Amino acid sequence: MNIMKKLTKQYIPKIGAFSWGMLGILIVLVCWHFFTLPTIVIAPNDPLALEYQILMGNLPQHTALGASVRVPSDFVSPMDFWQSAHKQLADPWRHQNPNDVGIGIHLLVSLMRVAVGFLGAVLVAVPLGVLLGSVAWLYKICAPIVQVLRPISPLAWMPILLYTIKDAGVSSVFVIGICALWPILLNTIFAVQNTPKSLVQVGQMLEFNRLKMASKILLPAALPAILAGMRIGMGVAWLVIIAAEMLVGSVGIGYFIWNQWNNLSLANILLAVLLIGMVGAMLDGLFGMIQKKWGYDVG
Amino acid sequence: MNLPCNCNDCQFTDVHDAHSTLDNAILTLALPNALHRRAFLRGMGKSALAYIATLMPIAPLHDALASTTTQRHQKLRVAFLPILCATPLIVAQELGVFSSYKLNVDLQKRSSWALVRDEIATQKLHASHLLAPMPLAMSLGLGSPKVLMRVATMQNTNGQALVMSLAHRHRQNPKDWRGFRFGIPFVHSMHNYLLRDFLLKHGLNPDKDVRLLVLSPADMIANLRANNIDGFFGPEPFNQRAVWEKVGYIHTLSHDMLNGHPCCAFGVRDDFAKTYPDEFLALALAMRQSQRLIKDMHANLPMLLSAPRYLNQPPLVIGQALTGRFADGLGRVQSVPNRTGFDATLAPAMLAWLVAQMQRFGYTKSLQNCQTQCARIATEVFGAT
């Protein structure tokens, strides 16, 4: 009883958040290891039955009649995962053949597509958002169109774009642009519409024209909300690229998943999923830092 | 073994080269066996071609070449899908058959038939691996804008199968399959036609009694595992892969439904064939050469195909589909030597069958006077095979 009390009162609170996280990962790894342990199988004595087991992939090739063999589990084990991940990550920039390039190149191509599509979305959404937010009648005209276009899935845009643009790579960049556009646009409109009256009145007092009002008052006031919109938009873009590349790409991390899926290679898919998650978290962290640096509270 | 160009009026070296390439190609076509060819050349010397010219129209081919050799593509973009049907393309690339025909081919993997169709239509690709009915459907404007196509060769024969879920291992009679859901790779595919024909023969209406869903082969296996579909009619090596994954069994090979049926074609846009007839011819000859090579290399073929840049599948799975000695998923090892073949030619009866199925299942309903036109267009599209 005393020991338990000591444990809960004195030691456990001292373990930091990082260590807790590590412990969680360790528990998952250990469970994973024990659920995917190899089993010992006795090979059949009948040649035809043995051939059947080999052709089914149940026994390794060239197994002798009646031999006892260690057979790996159906689901990928941590050790298998580590081996295939190591193989992929050891040579991430290989590019001898266009149909077999390294995972680093896949990631980089996806990031480039996201960067271009996202930049396009920002360049369209911010000026348009300021315009729609400050001109009330224009907003009324455009609102229904925005509301209809906004919920359309990237997968639904893809055939339309493929048909009109006729280029798979450009289409996927466009899809990213279209899907990242809405959070940025809506956040900008909302923020500009809700610019504090006092700030607008300062501008009016100084007799600012429309352009100066937008650049000196509305845009800076809306900046935190725009950055928040961009952060969401980047998250959406990174989600969309995977789906888009699975449909069209011959390179990109989404295509990598499709290709490994085609091979039903669980280990490589797991690796790609982990990498996508990590890159997504890094992108989000980047925007978090930008928000901290340039965002501020509008009193 | 190379034959020199023996025309007297060649002024340009590239024409000269092309002639010699063509002559060698013709020679290879006439005498596929390298040993026979060498003996023939040794015996006949320079008169070898003159002798072959009495059997084949060499002069018109040379004339066609002379007018077009000035237009040569730097690089041909050619697509394939990672299935066993693409073997001739992969072998042609890997064993340097394309380069021996002076073709510079950039062989690219693609993920779906619809994508390949659109990229051929928009000229992103010069030539591609297609499902056998696709070039005809495209030429008729079925399911896509109308693009006149021309097929250089067929890629393969047989090599498909109906795979059923292991959950239905005790319901093997198709008569009990009312309400089942099946995966097919594409609407205009031999898979769709063969499956519909098979179901009808067993008294099931493919439009009313069952549901057919278009799925990519990997999705077929995943959906079979998840019980979203009850079976699928897919390309190799995915049928064998379903057995390997212990989710399905091979119910019927397409070999046992319509022996010798074609599955995939290799084709280009009609205007490409007209603008670059020598490339078109060289592609057709290279593919035939590659198909002859395949026959002698069963032993190491699975290893070659299993590379990540090609099929990306276990060699043992590919080997079973290729050799026809395979585990059927129900505990038997079966031997069907003709499970997969790689013939370049399309028998007229098979073409007629294909066109008939297209009409029979109502895909040509939107066309006027298909009764008279479809067969004629089909003959044009598949003329080179």
Between A and B, how many residue pairs show a Cβ–Cβ distance under 8 A? 80
The verdict on B303 touching A (C-beta cutoff 8 Å) is no
> Closest Cα to residue B122, out of A91, A193, A113, A161?
A161
Interface of B with A in 110-149 (CB under 8 A): 110-112, 115, 118-119, 122, 124
Q: State the sign of the Cα–Cα–Cα–Cα dihedral B306, B251, B195, A258.
A: negative
Interface of B with A in 19-78 (CB under 8 A): none
The verdict on A263 touching B (C-beta cutoff 8 Å) is yes
**What is the Cα–Cα distance from B61 to B278, expressed in whole angstroms?**
9
Q: What angle do CA A169, A173, A179 make, to 5 degrees?
A: 145
Residue linked to tokens 């619809």 = B114
- B243 vs A249: CB contact, 8 Å cut-off? no
Using a CB-CB cut-off of 8 Å, the residues of chain B touching A98 are 106, 108
- B333 vs A48: CB contact, 8 Å cut-off? yes
Mind spelling out the 3-state secondary structure of chain B? CCCCCCCCCCCCHHHHHHHHHHHHHHHHHHCCCHHHHHHHHHHHHHHHHHHHHCCCCHHHHHHHHHCCCCCCCCCEEEEECCCHHHHHHHHHHHCCHHHHCCCCEEEEECCCHHHHHHHHHCCCCCEEEEECCHHHHHHHCCCCCCCCEEEEEECCEECEEEEEEHHHCCCCCHHHCCCCEEEECCCCCHHHHHHHHHHHHCCCCCCCCCEEEECCHHHHHHHHHCCCCCEEEEECCHHHHHHHCCCEEEEEEHHHCCCCCECEEEEEEHHHHHHCHHHHHHHHHHHHHHHHHHHCCCCCHHHHHCCCCCCCCCHHHHHHHHHCEEECCCCCEEECCCCEECCCCCCHHHHHHHHHHHHHCCCCCCCCCHHHHHHHHHHHHCCCC
The verdict on A264 touching B (C-beta cutoff 8 Å) is yes
Q: What is the pLDDT of residues B55-104, one digit of tens each?
A: 555 555 555 554 444 445 678 899 999 999 999 999 999 888 888 888 88
From residue B116, alpha-carbon distances to A175, B139, B154, B344, B382 in Å are 20, 15, 17, 21, 19
Structure tokens at A285: 């962290």
Using a CB-CB cut-off of 8 Å, the residues of chain B touching A250 are 108-111
**What is the Cα–Cα distance from B121 to B123, expressed in whole angstroms?**
5
Distance from CA of A20 to the nearest CA of B (A): 36
pTM over 0.80: no
- Report residue B333: phi and psi, to 5°: -100, 120
- B316 vs A57: CB contact, 8 Å cut-off? yes
Cβ atoms < 10 Å from Cβ of B201: 10
Residue pLDDT tens, chain B, 385 long: 444 444 444 444 444 455 566 666 666 666 666 666 666 666 666 566 666 655 555 555 555 554 444 445 678 899 999 999 999 999 999 888 888 888 888 888 888 898 889 889 888 889 999 999 999 999 988 888 888 999 989 999 898 999 999 999 888 898 889 889 999 999 999 999 999 999 999 989 989 889 999 988 888 888 888 888 999 999 988 999 999 988 999 999 999 999 889 999 999 998 888 888 888 888 888 888 888 888 887 678 999 998 888 888 888 999 999 988 999 889 889 999 889 888 888 888 888 898 889 888 888 888 777 777 888 888 888 877 7
Using a CB-CB cut-off of 8 Å, the residues of chain B touching A56 are 243-244, 246, 327, 329
Residue to substitute from B111, B120, B215, interface A, most A β-carbons within 10 A: B111
- B307 vs A100: CB contact, 8 Å cut-off? yes
Q: What is the pLDDT of residues B138-194, one digit of tens each?
A: 998 888 888 899 998 999 989 899 999 999 988 889 888 988 999 999 999 999 999
